[in-house]
Chains A and B, each alone.
Chain A
């Protein structure tokens, strides 16, 4: 199970509590997460399924490498963090 948590900034807009999700790739983990919390999906991914430009996704301490296909592998007990990148919002 991967441990998924989303930034506080996202929690203001959609129900997205931390959750433990099965999956061997980031795509499968996020699909599983958004199946439980569908309102959060469009805040993180765009209509093509890619990570939005100003969203940062880490697996443990590492930024993901594939922002469009979400093919980064996920292992048991990995932590998936979805943050609001600091770009895109100085005002």
Chain B
């Protein structure tokens, strides 16, 4: 199924500062560029002011910016900028094919019919450097889409969508399942690992023609004990790959933290990580396979920082121990939650950004040793990405 862009100019609704940003922050009410000078970062003029920006990414291969907008009443729309956000054109949004006659597709948990229509374009991910113009998009209700023409058209990866195991998937946060993590393997353009809430993790080595489960070792405490180890129904909140050692993947799961050293073939649980192992975001160090960052909240039931103190946890030894980083973060009366796409590390492994549900944004130039507040007045933050 292929969809093609039909409109071509959104610039009239977005007056944007035309400058190269160092990062992009998608929020409930617009997309904000972030300019960084040394240890200081500041917020620039927004694009799409007033509209919910689900995810935004700058393609490092050609400098294009992509933004996924959830207009609610008016549906999901994707936009691309070829001039660093000065102007945007609307490209195609992922569209599902018609559900074939006689196909029954029921959400395993809600027992309601899954509608084959894009509810959310949850994550956008540039493809491998050897595949210029190739993009991936993970959506709710669970479809993975590929574009080979910079978002002008999208094709549903039907092999994953039509896989029988999908009948076991269900929603995490949203009513239906969704793909939120797409980890391209820098060693090969056809090798991917994707994370699904709640449908485990899946890997392909042939560009998406066939898929293997990649969630053995994860643990689902939200199911009867006999089902807790079922890889098909795990809820990885976010999966992040170490670019320098791509077999190393980190996962912040609904029920804890997990690490894989065999490209998702198996996962080991990390049972202790500072004040809590519950959270949504994870950032893998791009060069050091032993280093990753997390932002803990109390628990599934209480999704706020422990004791009202916002901290970042960092391991530098593969999860054996964690530093609790709080320098520059609010240490009293803080009720910020960091969503799964709202923690990012840059390609150097030194610069971090995290954005919260209460509209705060923090920056670190020293791998989390110290943070500075960029803003406390943004709309709720959905996504943070370095350019």
Contacts and interface: CB of A to CB of B under 8 A. Distances in A.
A55 B171 CA distance: 12
Nearest to B112: A53
Given A61-B227, A63-B109, 18 more contacts: A7-B222, A9-B301, A12-B301, A58-B224, A61-B224, A63-B108, A63-B111, A85-B110, A86-B109, A86-B172, A87-B172, A87-B175, A87-B176, A88-B175, A89-B173, A90-B172, A90-B173, A91-B173
Interface in B286-321: 300-301, 303
Task: Give chain B's interface secondary structure class.
Answer: loop
Interface in A41-69: 53, 56, 58, 60-61, 63, 65, 67
B224 A86 contact: no
Contacts of A36: none
Given A9-B301, A87-B170, A87-B171, A56 B109 contact: yes
Interface in B152-182: 170-176
Main secondary structure of the interface of A (DSSP, over half): loop
Interface size class of A (residues with CB under 8 A): 20 to 34
Contacts of A58: 223-224
A89 B13 CA distance: 32
A58 B223 CA distance: 9
A90 B224 contact: no
Nearest to A7: B222
Contacts, number: 61
A8 B255 CA distance: 13
B174 A87 contact: yes
Contacts of B337: 91
26 contacts: A8-B301, A9-B301, A58-B223, A58-B224, A60-B226, A61-B226, A61-B227, A63-B108, A63-B111, A67-B111, A79-B224, A83-B223, A84-B300, A85-B222, A86-B171, A86-B197, A86-B198, A86-B235, A87-B109, A87-B171, A87-B173, A87-B174, A87-B175, A88-B173, A89-B173, A90-B173
Nearest to A53: B110
A33 interface: no
Q: Which of A58, A60, A84, A87 is packed against the most chain B CB atoms within 10 Å?
A: A87
B254 interface: yes
Contacts of B357: 91
Contact of A81 (B109, B175, B176, B224): B224
Q: Which 7 pairs, one residue from A and one from B, show the smallest C-beta to C-beta distance?
A: A90-B173, A87-B171, A86-B172, A9-B301, A87-B175, A61-B226, A81-B224
A61 B197 CA distance: 20
A60 B223 CA distance: 10
Contacts of B108: 63
Most buried by A among B171, B303, B339, B357: B171
Contact of A85 (B170, B226, B227, B303): B170
Contacts of B235: 86
Interface string B320-340: 000000000000000001010
